[in-house]
Amino acid sequence: MRTISILALLLPFITLAGQKDPAARTYLDKLARELDPGHALSIDFEYTREDLQAGSQVEGDATLVLLGEMYKLDLGDALIYFDGEKQYSLNTEIEEVYISSPKQEDREFMFSDPIKLLRTYNEAFKYRLMGEMSFQQEKALEVQLYPEELGGPYALIKLYFSINNSSLKAIVIRQKDGILYTMIVKKMQEVDDPGADFFRFSSTEYPNVDVIELMD
């Protein structure tokens, strides 16, 4: 009985110690440095969006440019801009742009917010190195991250790193609503500061687009 009582007392501490795996930090620290918010970062990637409940899937190529809290996500026929205050959602096919001021808790969009959260991964996530895994028929090192805040949209984030040089190969994001995003990194590089206007919709560049404001 005494042994069981001691184990019961120690169990919470044992569980807590396993929430942040030191073996994963080598990879996460390197990635956090690459995502330095003081520099502009461009990421070219292939993506898949799966709705696990509806059984539907969308895939394509995209480019994400990040600078601090600002970003521009180019999906081809759709562009999402965020200048730190306003979000501009442009559909070039139907020539409409929606302008809104999203609240902090509503700013998650595909890969932009999860990537920004990885800059401060030690505060935002619990994490664990899962070891060598097979990802798309290639071997990679897998790190799993679980959000510290349970109220957010993410249930689990998986990062896959190259075994040879620890570079980021892919991000898999499982949301609580049954949406699964997979991002295959093709190129990730620091770029020159494009300026604040780069992260805003330009009516001069798209003169025929209808502007629809959803501001409160």
Q: What is the per-residue pLDDT across 2-15, written as a single tens digit (0 to 9) for each?
A: 444 443 443 443 34
Partnered with residue 81 across adjacent β-strands are: 72, 88
pLDDT at 17 over 70: no
Average pLDDT on 184-203 reads 95
What are the pLDDT digits (tens) for 35-91? Answer: 887 889 999 999 999 998 899 999 999 999 999 889 999 998 899 999 989 999 999
Task: For the full predicted model, state whether its pTM sits above 0.85.
Answer: no
199 close to 82: Cβ distance less than 8 angstroms: yes
| Residue of 167 and 17 predicted with greater confidence | 167
Confidence band for 192, pLDDT divided at 50, 70 and 90 = very high
Computed over every residue of the chain, the mean pLDDT equals 85
Domains along the chain with CATH numbers:
22-213 (2.50.20.10)
What is the C-alpha separation between 199 and 206, in angstroms, rounded? 14
Please, which contacts does 36-40 make with residues 24 or more away whose CB atoms are closer than 8 Å? Answer: 36/119, 37/66, 37/67, 37/68, 37/69, 37/116, 37/119, 38/68, 39/67, 39/190, 39/193, 40/65, 40/66, 40/67, 40/190, 40/191, 40/192, 40/193, 40/194
Query: What is the phi/psi pair of residue 95, to 5°?
Result: 55, 55
**Can you tell me the mean pLDDT for 155-168?**
94
Q: Is the pLDDT of residue 162 over 90?
A: yes
Q: Give the up-direction half-sphere exposure of residue 57: CA atoms within 13 A in the CB hemisphere.
A: 6
